[in-house]
């Protein structure tokens, strides 16, 4: 999978999680993930941004957005372990290990795809 496909797929999934959270309100998503309205909005914005660059952005923009959001998600994953309510931004807080694991995974994958994987092929396209 290349960075553009990663941005498209992950962006759409994150948007769907945001929409699902808005529909369900301040309760858990599928009984697994804790979702607050603030997090729903962040999911809509970050997922929408990632999907938008995946479908229409330049190669450089895709790498920067995926890598940048990877850093953000990694920070959120680490903070979620130590500050589950994100300094009061998430009233329900992160109650499950799964919330943090998903954010940490998105962070690591975003950084890998955005900054390390596929960069060589972008600089030297095949003829």
- Residues 65-98 have pLDDT tens digits of 999 999 999 998 888 888 867 766 665 656 667 7
pTM (two decimals): 0.82
Q: Using alpha carbons, select from 46, 38, 40, 47 the residue that is nearest to residue 20.
A: 40
Q: What value does the CA radius of gyration of the chain take, rounded to a whole number of Å?
A: 15
Collapsed DSSP state (helix, strand, coil) of residue 2? coil
Alpha helices in the chain (DSSP H): 3-24, 37-56, 59-82, 97-111, 119-123
Give the domain range for residue 9.
3-123
d(CA 96, CA 75): 17
**How many structural domains are present in the chain?**
1
């Amino acid at each position: 999978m290349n960075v553009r496909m990663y941005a498209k797929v992950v962006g759409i999934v994150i948007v769907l999680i945001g929409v699902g959270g808005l529909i369900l309100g301040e309760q858990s998503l599928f009984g697994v993930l804790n979702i607050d309205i603030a997090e729903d909005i962040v999911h809509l914005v970050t997922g929408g941004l990632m999907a938008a660059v995946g479908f229409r952005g330049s190669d450089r923009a895709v790498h920067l957005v995926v890598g940048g959001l990877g850093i953000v998600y990694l920070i959120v994953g680490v903070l979620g372990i130590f500050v589950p309510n994100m300094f009061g931004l998430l009233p329900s807080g992160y109650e499950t290990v799964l919330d943090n694991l998903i954010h940490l995974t998105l962070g690591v994958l975003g950084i890998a795809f955005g900054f390390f994987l596929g960069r060589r092929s972008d600089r030297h396209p095949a003829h």
